[in-house]
C-alpha cells in the first residue's frame, strides 16, 4: 500500500538534504557541473517516503 506523506513534512527534510548535496557537488566539481535536476514524486509535488531520483551531469 502506497503511503502519501504531506508535502510540507517531506519538503523540510528533503530540501535540507538536497541543498547540502548540491553544495557539496558544486564544491567538488566547480564549473564542470552542468546541471542538477530532481525527478519523481518529490519534483511533481506528490512525494512519498521512497523513490527520490536526483540526477547530475
- The string of pLDDT tens digits covering residues 9-56 is 555 577 788 888 889 999 999 999 998 887 777 777 777 666 566 666
Q: What integer pLDDT is reported at residue 45 of this predicted model?
A: 76
**Burial classification of residue 3, based on how many CB atoms lie within 10 Å of its CB (0-12 exposed, 13-18 middle, 19 or more buried):** exposed
**Per-residue pLDDT, 43:** 76
Place of cell 541543498: 19
Give the gyration radius of the chain's Cα atoms: 13
Residue 1 has pLDDT above 50, yes or no: no
Amino acid at each position: 500500500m502506497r503511503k502519501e506523506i504531506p508535502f510540507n513534512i517531506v519538503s523540510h527534510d528533503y530540501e535540507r538534504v538536497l541543498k547540502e548535496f548540491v553544495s557539496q557537488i558544486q564544491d567538488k566539481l566547480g564549473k564542470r557541473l552542468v546541471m542538477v535536476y530532481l525527478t519523481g514524486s518529490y519534483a511533481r509535488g506528490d512525494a512519498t517516503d521512497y523513490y527520490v531520483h536526483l540526477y547530475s551531469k
